[in-house]
Structures are given as structure tokens and as C-alpha cells.
């Protein structure tokens, strides 16, 4: 019976994986934001801890409070994260700082705390980047920057821990139909309506087009259940890969980015935004 710690277990992918693990009979440590619930409260195989990955002390306390079984910790799946959108010129720099703190530094916080606990069990740590960790998309500079940086941190850590019996694995999903998609669409439309006057003529149409694009493309994304199937391959494969891409869109966009010149890829995004 493996012991699995899952961050972001209060919603979306983290919640799905926590419920699956509990159904299998795994020992689950579900990390939630303060005030969140995961629907597994009262399950004797599930321990609930509070963890805000954007805060050093909260991550340290969360791991310290995790009730590990005698066999230790076998897997950490770090699902917690945020998605922020907006044009570089328009959005305050605090948007970028927030994305980097929660997504990038948050991943480093979890990784640092997990490594000493995973090392004795020769377990694995699974972190989330994105197709946007390999490509820069319009209106997604803060999110893309945070995910590009996660790619770099995980590559470095994997090479630094070579020979220690630890697998550090990246998940690179495309669009997964969670409430994060709805929040991105709503946020972009709200952003268009609240643009300062000096930016409306320059960016108002772009904010609306982006919202329509995300709303439209999300219908072709994968379900949480389909994404969880891939992540469980990373969790339990005898010889896991270093990266797992989730969804046709992730595979297609990353492939295009490696093949096309920059101007041609710019044209692809322009056509996506202009579609009705």
C-alpha cells in the first residue's frame, strides 16, 4: 500500500487523483488550502494537511504535519497551481510575481521538502509544467514564464539527483477541462471590461478574442479523468519517462514550436485568435 502526498487536492486534477488513490486503498495525504475540502474527510486512509504552496512556512509545516506510514513516503504529486492571463504591457508586475511565486517557487518548495522523504523509499516526485512550459502564448506571459521555469528546475534537479534512486517526472498537459479554464475565460473577459482607457484601443479586442479562443479550445481538451489516466502511468510505471504530454493539443503545439520558425508560429496563434 503506497503512501502518496497530493497537493491541490481540493479541486481539479489533485482532487481526482486523491479520490482515485483512496479508492485503490492507498495511504493518501491530501494537501489543501486553508478552508478547502476534498470530499475525503473522515476516510481513515486519508490524512488532510493544510498547505499554501506560495508560502515557505506553510509548505514546511504541511510536510512536517504529514502523517507518514512506517514505510515512508512513496510518491508526491504536486498539482497545486494557478493560471493568470493578460498582456505584458497591461497587467501589473505583481501578476508576474504571483505566478512565479505560486507556480515556480511553489514547485521548488515542494520538491525541496519531498526529496529527503522520497529518497529512502526510492520513490518518485511528479510536478506539473504545461504545453505552455515549452511555448510562449499570447496573453499568457506570466503563466508561460512560470511553467518554463518549472521545466528548468525539474531538469536540473533530475540531473543533480542522478544515482539516488529518485524519479522526478514532469507532466506537460494541454487544456484539461477543469474550473481553471472557466476562471481564465472569466478573468480575460473581466480584464477586457476593466482595461484602463489608454489600453482599450490597443488590447481590448485581444482580451475578448483570447477569452473566446480559450472557451472554444477547451471543448477539445481532455477530461480530468483522461488526464488522470496518464498521470497514473507516471506514478506506477516500472520505468517511467521523464515527461508525459497530456492531450493532442499539447503534443501538436509543442511539435509545431520545434518545427516552425518564430514568424510562422506567430501566424498560427494569430489564426487561432481570429477564429470565431
pLDDT tens figures, 181-239: 777 777 777 777 888 999 999 999 999 898 888 877 767 778 899 999 999 999 999 99
Helical spans, DSSP H, in the chain = 12-24, 56-65, 93-99, 106-118, 141-160, 179-193, 197-218, 224-236, 248-259, 262-274
| Residue 187 confidence (pLDDT) | 74
Q: Residue 105: which pLDDT band, with cuts at 50, 70 and 90? A: very high
pTM beyond 0.85: yes
Q: Residue 276: which pLDDT band, with cuts at 50, 70 and 90? A: low
Residue 265: partners with Cβ closer than 8 Å, 6 or more residues away = 135, 256, 257
> What does the block give as the cell for 188?
480575460
Task: Tell me what the pLDDT averaged over the chain comes to.
Answer: 92
Domains of the chain: 3-177+222-250 (3.40.50.720)
Taking every pair of C-alpha atoms in the chain, what is the biggest distance, in angstroms? Answer: 62
Residue 21: partners with Cβ closer than 8 Å, 6 or more residues away = 4, 6, 28
pLDDT, tens only, 118-172 = 999 999 999 999 999 999 999 999 999 999 999 999 999 999 999 999 999 999 9
Residue 212: closest CA among 181, 233, 235, 238: 181
Cα 23 to chain center, whole Å? 23
Amino acid at each position: 500500500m503506497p503512501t502518496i502526498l497530493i497537493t491541490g487536492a481540493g479541486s481539479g486534477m489533485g482532487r481526482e487523483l486523491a479520490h482515485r488513490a483512496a479508492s485503490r486503498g492507498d495511504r493518501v495525504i491530501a494537501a489543501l488550502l486553508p478552508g478547502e475540502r476534498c470530499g475525503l474527510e473522515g476516510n481513515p486512509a486519508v490524512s488532510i494537511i493544510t498547505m499554501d504552496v506560495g508560502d515557505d512556512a506553510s509548505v514546511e509545516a504541511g510536510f512536517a504535519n504529514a502523517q507518514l506510514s512506517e514505510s515512508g513516503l512513496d510518491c508526491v504529486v504536486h498539482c497545486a497551481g494557478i493560471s493568470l492571463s493578460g498582456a505584458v504591457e497591461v497587467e501589473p508586475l505583481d501578476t508576474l510575481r504571483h505566478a512565479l511565486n505560486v507556480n515556480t517557487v511553489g514547485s521548488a518548495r515542494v520538491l525541496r521538502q519531498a526529496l529527503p522523504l522520497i529518497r529512502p523509499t526510492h520513490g518518485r516526485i511528479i510536478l506539473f509544467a504545461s504545453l505552455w512550459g515549452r511555448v510562449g502564448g499570447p496573453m499568457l506571459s506570466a503563466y508561460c514564464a512560470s511553467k518554463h521555469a518549472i521545466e528548468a528546475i525539474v531538469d536540473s534537479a533530475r540531473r543533480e539527483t542522478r544515482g539516488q534512486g529518485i524519479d522526478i517526472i514532469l507532466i506537460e498537459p494541454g487544456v484539461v477541462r477543469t474550473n481553471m479554464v472557466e476562471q481564465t475565460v472569466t478573468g480575460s473577459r473581466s480584464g477586457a471590461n476593466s482595461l484602463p482607457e489608454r489600453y482599450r484601443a490597443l488590447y481590448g479586442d485581444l482580451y475578448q478574442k483570447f477569452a473566446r479562443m480559450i472557451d472554444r479550445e477547451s471543448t477539445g481538451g481532455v477530461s480530468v479523468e483522461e488526464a488522470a489516466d496518464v498521470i497514473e502511468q507516471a506514478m506506477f510505471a516500472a520505468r517511467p519517462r521523464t515527461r508525459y504530454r497530456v492531450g493532442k493539443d499539447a503534443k501538436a503545439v509543442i511539435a509545431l514550436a520545434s518545427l516552425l520558425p518564430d514568424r510562422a508560429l506567430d501566424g498560427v496563434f494569430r489564426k487561432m485568435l481570429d477564429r470565431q
